[in-house]
């Protein structure tokens, strides 16, 4: 007797992904329109146009829902950062481009991340960051770039992993500063500050590549 095979095995996955995306978009709309306090499972269900119980088929509670909204919002940034770190530029240029893209991404979505990072349980979110595979992978990639710079003689001999952690945390700290201050320097200025402060301590050269500013406009497109 032949076992009956499902006719469309991909449909449940596609439908589930679509439904979860719709729920997450509703959360973002609510947060940006009315603040974090407006995000309840009932309000999200109303925003999507589904029953409240349907939300619980996808998320066990509000905390998990907000965590997934944050992870989904960060995924494109980390994909871009890994692309930059795996590119053909010099180690110094990679680090400055990485810092620039990091700050620009949060600037473009300032209201969303201000809510996710400051209206939520900040200590819990920050503590969990260091345990995530996404964070550890980014540190590994930056560490690899720094190791390449050391091998090429562009950077002095230091512990690549420790230096990578300092660089990543510098980017995070600057993002936090920019989220809390509406007025200040441009993304390019702050990214260059991160790279200069970081690289002047490890670089064998006096400054960053003079071609960086000219190339930056093209790379950000």
Residues 178-197, mean pLDDT to the nearest whole number = 87
Residues 135-149, mean pLDDT to the nearest whole number = 93
Cα(114)–Cα(109) distance, integer angstroms: 9
- Residue 165: the pLDDT is 92
- Residue 130: the pLDDT is 64
Tokens found for residue 139: 């540190």
Provide Rg for the chain, Cα atoms: 21
**Are 70 and 124 contacting, i.e. CB atoms less than 8 angstroms apart?**
no
Averaged pLDDT score across all residues of the chain = 81
pLDDT band of 205, cuts 50, 70, 90 = low
Cα(103)–Cα(178) distance, integer angstroms: 8
Q: Could you give the C-alpha distances from 162 to 53, 149, 159, 205, 221, in angstroms and in order? A: 46, 15, 6, 21, 32
In this prediction the pTM is 0.67
**Are 204 and 154 contacting, i.e. CB atoms less than 8 angstroms apart?**
yes
CA angle 81-220-212, nearest 5°? 90
- Residue 112: the pLDDT is 86
């Amino acid at each position: 007797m032949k076992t009956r095979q499902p006719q469309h095995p991909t449909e449940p996955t596609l439908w589930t992904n679509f439904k979860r995306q719709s729920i997450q978009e509703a959360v973002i709309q609510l947060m940006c329109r009315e603040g974090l306090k407006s995000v309840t499972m009932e309000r999200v269900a109303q925003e999507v146009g589904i029953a409240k119980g349907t939300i619980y088929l996808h998320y066990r509670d509000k905390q998990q829902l907000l965590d997934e909204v944050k992870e989904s919002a960060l995924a494109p940034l980390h994909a871009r950062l890994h692309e930059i770190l795996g590119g053909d530029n010099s180690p110094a240029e990679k680090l400055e481009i990485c810092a620039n893209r990091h700050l620009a991404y949060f600037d473009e979505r300032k209201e969303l991340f201000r809510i996710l990072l400051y209206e939520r349980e900040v200590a819990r979110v920050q503590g969990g960051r260091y345990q995530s595979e996404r964070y550890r992978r980014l540190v590994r990639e930056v560490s690899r770039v720094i190791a390449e710079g050391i091998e090429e003689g562009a950077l002095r001999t230091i512990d690549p992993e420790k230096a990578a952690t300092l660089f990543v945390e510098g980017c995070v700290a600057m993002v936090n500063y920019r989220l809390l201050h509406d007025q200040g320097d441009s993304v390019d200025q702050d990214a260059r500050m991160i790279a200069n402060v970081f690289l002047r301590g490890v670089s064998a050269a006096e400054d960053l590549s003079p071609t960086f500013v000219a190339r930056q406009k093209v790379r950000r497109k």
